[in-house]
């Protein structure tokens, strides 16, 4: 929470009760994405008068300053930033349990080497499959 507050202040955002409550909720989702609708429901239960626009705006601002990450495949899912020191990173996402694992390496040079003369302006990589736990469960089930 301290790091998130520091990032809010550094980016000239007010540290409000609503924002800290939103961050506290999002901190539960560092290894799984959560649907924005679930976030909206949670915040509307805490603050019945809070508009959807306010919640969406805060999530977008949080993404802009690196507090949350949107799932590349499905922009209606977000998770709390897993690595504040390295905002640029990629993920493995388990198709069974939804677990998100940070990938440390970035293969962008592999792709840019194949694009001489092109200007790459950004990229995002998510790898999908089964995590080790789900793979083990599947193997046991098939045995």
What is the DSSP secondary structure assignment for residue 99, as one 8-state letter? B
What is the DSSP secondary structure assignment for residue 43, as one 8-state letter? H
Q: What are phi and psi of 124, to 5 degrees?
A: -150, 135
- Establish whether 121 is an annotated binding residue: no
Structure tokens at 5: 């507050």
What is the DSSP secondary structure assignment for residue 31, as one 8-state letter? S
Q: Is 125 within 8 Å of 89 (Cβ atoms)? A: no
Alpha-carbon torsion angle 83, 36, 54, 12, nearest 10 = 0
- Establish whether 106 is an annotated binding residue: no
CA distance 71 to 78: 6
- Establish whether 94 is an annotated binding residue: yes
- Establish whether 97 is an annotated binding residue: yes
- Establish whether 139 is an annotated binding residue: no
CA distance 10 to 29: 23
Binding site: what residues are annotated?
A: 88, 94, 97, 109, 123, 131, 134
Known binding-site residues for Fe cation equal 88, 109, 123
Task: Return binding residues for Zn(2+).
Answer: 94, 97, 131, 134
């Amino acid at each position: 929470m301290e790091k998130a507050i520091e990032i809010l202040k550094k980016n000239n955002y007010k540290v409000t009760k609503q924002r800290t409550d939103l961050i506290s909720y999002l901190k539960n989702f560092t290894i799984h994405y959560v649907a924005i609708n679930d976030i909206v429901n949670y915040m509307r239960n805490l603050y019945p008068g809070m508009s959807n626009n306010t919640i969406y705006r805060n999530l977008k601002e949080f993404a802009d300053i690196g507090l949350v990450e949107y799932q590349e495949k499905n922009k209606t899912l977000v998770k709390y930033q897993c690595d504040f020191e390295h905002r640029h990173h990629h993920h493995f996402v388990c198709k069974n349990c939804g677990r998100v694992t940070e990938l440390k390496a970035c293969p962008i040079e592999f792709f840019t080497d194949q694009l001489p003369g092109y200007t790459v302006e950004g990229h995002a990589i998510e790898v999908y499959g089964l995590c080790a736990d789900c793979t083990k469960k599947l193997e046991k089930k098939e045995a």
